[in-house]
Amino acid sequence: NAGVTQTPKFRVLKTGQSMTLLCAQDMNHEYMYWYRQDPGMGLRLIHYSVGEGTTAKGEVPDGYNVSRLKKQNFLLGLESAAPSQTSVYFCASSYTTSGENEQFFGPGTRLTVL
């Protein structure tokens, strides 16, 4: 099992450009999450999904959109990138709600917006 994988690993964007980060999990998990991690801070939840076709806002959703068309995939989109979105992005998944189960994390995507 690959667990949770993220594509790409690194990306550099110019302000105003758009991009999509892809997260895939092969554990048949219902729940998937997108976080960002900034220096000196813990992870902050951007959006999450409790199942195929559903999405919900987390703590810092502004400037991001997500889609969960297939159970195994969770996409994070930046429509018009801003320097404030420079960060490391982590995807995670869990069998049920994070309130009951551990989350499994991908290796991260390091994004720089110039």
Partner 1 sequence: SQQGEEDPQALSIQEGENATMNCSYKTSINNLQWYRQNSGRGLVHLILIRSNEREKHSGRLRVTLDTSKKSSSLLITASRAADTASYFCATVRLSNDMRFGAGTRLTVKP
Q: Give the binding site for partner 1 (CB under 8 A).
A: 4, 31, 33, 35, 40-45, 48, 50, 56, 59, 90, 92, 97-108
CB of 17 or CB of 88, closer to partner 1 = 88
In whole angstroms, the minimum distance from the beta carbon of 33 to partner 1 comes to: 8
CB of 5 or CB of 17, closer to partner 1 = 5
CA proximity to 44, closest of 13, 7, 89: 89
CB of 97 or CB of 112, closer to partner 1 = 97
In whole angstroms, the minimum distance from the beta carbon of 80 to partner 1 comes to: 26
- DSSP letters, 91-112, are EEEESS-TTTS--EE---EEEE
Asked whether 76 and 87 are in contact (CB, 8 A), the reply is no
Give dist(CA 85, CA 79) in Å, integer.
11
